[in-house]
Amino acid sequence: MSSLYNETIIAYSKNPPNRFAMEDATIKHFEENRVCGDSLDIYLKIEDNLIKDFSFEWDTTVITTAGASALGEAVIWMTLDEILVLDSNFTEELIGKVTPRRRNASVLGLLAVRNAIHEYLKDWKKDDFSDVLVD
């Protein structure tokens, strides 16, 4: 496994610090990657336009787990508007580069968070992978 993934990915995938179902979440959102079969539930606590807490539960690959977990730590205290413009460059900064085949997996957590925010805002938007992946 260590030859395929960097230390950050290994650490987050083995022991994600934010893996639990948040009891008092403001919003819960389910997202899936139909290509690889990954799915996760994102729980956000939102107050005053800020993410105050983040957790997730999953049935995912190593890359998706690492990406969602690292993202969860990074978005706490960010505004909703700041998060809605994040893309795969941000995820890459958190966990490192992944192969083109794993790019969707690396941003599934980000896609889920952005769609949870859209749902919370009731803005009738729904992002897809093309909204979060940059070349």
pLDDT at 2: 42
Question: Is 131 contained in some domain?
Answer: no
For residue 49, is it within any domain?
yes
Give residue 4's pLDDT: 55
Q: Is residue 86 part of a domain?
A: yes
Domain contains 134: no
Domain span at residue 79 reads 7-124
- 11-27 per-position pLDDT tens digit: 888 889 999 999 999 99
Is residue 87 within 8 A of residue 45, CB to CB? The reply is no
Assigned domain for 16 exists: yes
Is residue 2 a part of any domain in this protein? no
- Look up the CATH number of the domain holding residue 64: 3.90.1010.10
What is the tally of structural domains in the chain? 1
Give residues with Cβ within 8 angstroms of 101, minimum separation 6: none
In a domain, 13, yes or no: yes
Q: pLDDT tens-digit profile of 81-127? A: 999 999 999 999 999 999 998 999 999 999 999 999 999 999 999 99
pLDDT in tens, 57-83: 988 889 999 999 999 999 999 999 999
